[in-house]
Structure 1
Amino acid sequence: MRKIFIGLIAFMGLLTLSGCQKKAQATYLKTPYTRNEFVMGTTCTLTIYDKGKKSALKDGFAMIHHVDAEATLTRGGSVLDKINANAGVKPVKVPKDFMPLLEKAYYFSKNSNGSFDMAIGAVTNLWQIGLPGARVPAQSEITQALPLVNWHDVKLDTKNNTAYLTKKGMRLDFGGIAKGWVADKVREVLRKDGVTAAIIDLGGNVVVMGHSPLGAKRDWHVGIQDPTAARGTAVGTIPESNESIVTAGTYEQYLISHGHKYIYLFDPKTGYPYDNNLASVTIVSKNSVDGDALSNAAFDKGLKDGLQYMDAKNSQHIQAIFITNDKKIYLTNGLKKQFKFGADSGYHKGNF
């Protein structure tokens, strides 16, 4: 489905967003303030509709760069680099504002039944998918790395603000949670600056703030990306306001080797990228950090178990959309009445 959204066209990484057709409120701009930068390995875009709030773009990107300096593995001297370099050696003092991210990663590692592991870095470092050195490692390398993928061996001392990996060779990798964390932090910054209507897009981690500026108390209409088509091509839409929408898919970063496609999402139990029938998993939640971690965990569990896992989170107001390679869409109970299929998308409702 190639949908021309009324009043607003914005291609947001894995998602597209639009506003409902109504007269814009006086406090909002018809042409928003927008800024794009390539940070954290992806294109980040901030869009603000509040008149007179252009300076908030600078503040928002300052927060993105701040977290990037702490949580990105490919930046020498980051906090994660220091923690990994001292694995099996000694605890590392971390900035006070970084400890909550470590705690969040630990929480999801503990509560995902093995589907999310903050210590997956020993495996992802072998594959290097998304980086120039991407390759398929030997089975012997993967076998050697797997015992190091164990969140139980991560020791956090919140009193002294230290993190310690107890075995040499262990590595943290926050590729499955850091963008969600920084998206939430940027939202906090924008709110402090008085922003009420904005879109935060960090390469697939999207947060819609407030209501659409094109209608009083009207939701944004969020188009869910077709995983087989060009960006901006949606399979359907959902109405949302003040929500995070995060997608993990097979089409963003991957390696092709000997005719086989290896995606960037890894099974912490096998050390290999997932190879199931899922094309993408989208999580709708209040907090982007939750959506980031849960999209990875749900992908790990596969379609049937993943749906059951996510339906159990309905009481937390967290929902999910599963898209399969055979062009079927499965929805958790809270989205079944909200999701609108694109008539010409070629996708259909899936049923068990």
Structure 2
Amino acid sequence: MQSRFYLIIIFFIGFSSLSQSIYKRDLGIMGSKFDITVVANSQTEANQYFEIAIAEMKRIENLISSWKPTSQTSAINRNAGIKPVKVDDELLQLIKRSIDISKITDGAFDISFASIDHIWKFDGRAHSMPAESLINASVKVIDFRQIVLDKEKSTVFLKKKKMKIGFGAIGKGYAADKAKQILIRKGVVGGIINASGDMNTWGEQPDEKPWKIAITNPLDKTKSYGLFELNNQAVVTSGNYEKYITIDGERYAHIIDPRTGMPTKGILSVTIFAPKAEMADALATSVFVMGSDVGLNIINQIPQVEAIIVRNDGSLATSKKINITSQ
């Protein structure tokens, strides 16, 4: 449903006289670019932490990937309209939380959107709408209300044939959350998991200063909307300015409205601050679909969640507690 872009710049402050230092590793996982930052006593110690985080994210990928035929998610999709599939409680709970977000956003977020993935092409080759019959056929099997969970038996059943679930709009955020949790349990006092733009932080830098990020202006990347301190927070930025389609002079985002099967329009980027990357990930998608006015109305009702929205014309819309200092 969406992809991530590096709109967020991490600023590190000097700390050369301190015993602990910041270490960083870049890697590719879940089909995306990830980077892991940890506060550690040595490179050797940091390397051990990196391997722990990578193993955890690979475990998540093997559980939720709809591209791996051996995953439980693929088994659910293969048995759509046929029978329930027994899954780990972890996956059951992730699907349950996804359905809860679908209810809050009135279907703007829906993990059963996966059936429409192959219809729209945002690689620069397409300049016209897909056939209406294809869009309508896909939309008919997109409905979070047709996902049946049995908590006692730990099963998931997609009621309609050809239904599919996918975690493209929440999975990387969930992986970032899980990697953060396991590193905290291992004693890492501070760090950042950046899952291709789905960023989760904890602790502080070695000089006891908070992690800071700058949200860049998508219309002029030499400018930003100011520095923001992160206090054990997640932040996700999603944008359409590098991946979109123009039809009859109208710009459409690569993020699809699961209720209509049509690309969203009107917004260039959405940044969400939230306690967890999973939530921020899902809400960033939802705001694109709902639009800035309805989206902000929802955001302002959710505790500890804030948003910065850049519309197509460059104007800003922000939630109540966001203070933009510069552009």
TM-score (structure 1 length as normaliser):
0.83
**Alignment partner, residue 50 of structure 1:** 40
Task: Give the counterpart letter for 1:296 in structure 2.
Answer: T
**Alignment partner, residue 332 of structure 1:** 319
Task: Give the counterpart letter for 1:341 in structure 2.
Answer: S
**Alignment partner, residue 253 of structure 2:** 263
Task: Give the counterpart letter for 2:269 in structure 1.
Answer: S
Q: Distance in 1 between matches of 2:246 and 2:49?
A: 40
**Alignment partner, residue 224 of structure 2:** 234
Task: Give the counterpart letter for 2:262 in structure 1.
Answer: Y
User: Aligned with 2:90: secondary structure?
Assistant: coil
User: Aligned with 2:69: secondary structure?
Assistant: coil
Change (3 A) 1:134 1:157: farther
Compute the displacement of 1:127 (Å): 2.7
Change (3 A) 1:329 1:58: same
Change (3 A) 1:229 1:44: farther
Compute the displacement of 1:318 (Å): 0.9
User: Aligned with 1:126: secondary structure?
Assistant: coil
Task: Give the counterpart letter for 1:335 in structure 2.
Answer: I
Per-residue CA shift, 1:210-241, capped at 9, x if unaligned? 1233x32x3222111332356x8634221222
Change (3 A) 1:255 1:81: farther
User: Aligned with 1:239: secondary structure?
Assistant: strand
Q: Distance in 1 between matches of 2:203 and 2:71?
A: 33
Per-residue CA shift, 1:290-317, capped at 9, x if unaligned? 101111112212111212221122xx11
For 2:20, which of 24, 28, 49 is the aligned residue?
Answer: 28
Q: Distance in 1 between matches of 2:297 and 2:256?
A: 21
User: Aligned with 1:100: secondary structure?
Assistant: helix
Q: Distance in 1 between matches of 2:305 and 2:129?
A: 35
User: Aligned with 2:100: secondary structure?
Assistant: helix
Q: Distance in 1 between matches of 2:202 and 2:127?
A: 36
For 1:150, which of 143, 152, 157 is the aligned residue?
Answer: 143
**Alignment partner, residue 102 of structure 2:** 109
Matches within 5 A, 1:198-213: 198-213=191-206
Unaligned runs of 5+ in 2: none
**Alignment partner, residue 169 of structure 2:** 176
RMSD, matched Cα: 2.6
Change (3 A) 1:247 1:310: same
**Conservation of the 8 A alpha-carbon contact between 1:13 and 1:202:** no
Change (3 A) 1:256 1:57: farther
User: Aligned with 1:80: secondary structure?
Assistant: helix
Unaligned runs of 5+ in 1: 1-11, 343-352
**Conservation of the 8 A alpha-carbon contact between 1:198 and 1:208:** yes
> Is 1:323 aligned to 2:307, yes or no?
no
Per-residue CA shift, 1:107-130, capped at 9, x if unaligned? 111221221112111222433657
Percent of residue pairs bearing the same amino acid type: 27
Q: Distance in 2 between matches of 1:282 and 1:123?
A: 25
> Is 1:295 aligned to 2:287, yes or no?
no
**Alignment partner, residue 223 of structure 1:** 214
Task: Give the counterpart letter for 2:86 in structure 1.
Answer: K
**Conservation of the 8 A alpha-carbon contact between 2:79 and 2:158:** yes
**Alignment partner, residue 76 of structure 1:** 69
Q: Distance in 1 between matches of 2:127 and 2:35?
A: 27
| Number of equivalences | 320
**Alignment partner, residue 158 of structure 2:** 165
> Is 1:311 aligned to 2:300, yes or no?
yes
Deviating 4+ runs (over 6 angstroms): 132-135, 256-260
For 2:187, which of 189, 194, 214 is the aligned residue?
Answer: 194
**Alignment partner, residue 272 of structure 2:** 283
User: Aligned with 2:89: secondary structure?
Assistant: coil
Q: Distance in 1 between matches of 2:255 and 2:6?
A: 17
TM-score (structure 2 length as normaliser):
0.89
Task: Give the counterpart letter for 1:249 in structure 2.
Answer: G
Compute the displacement of 1:283 (Å): 0.7
Change (3 A) 1:192 1:203: same
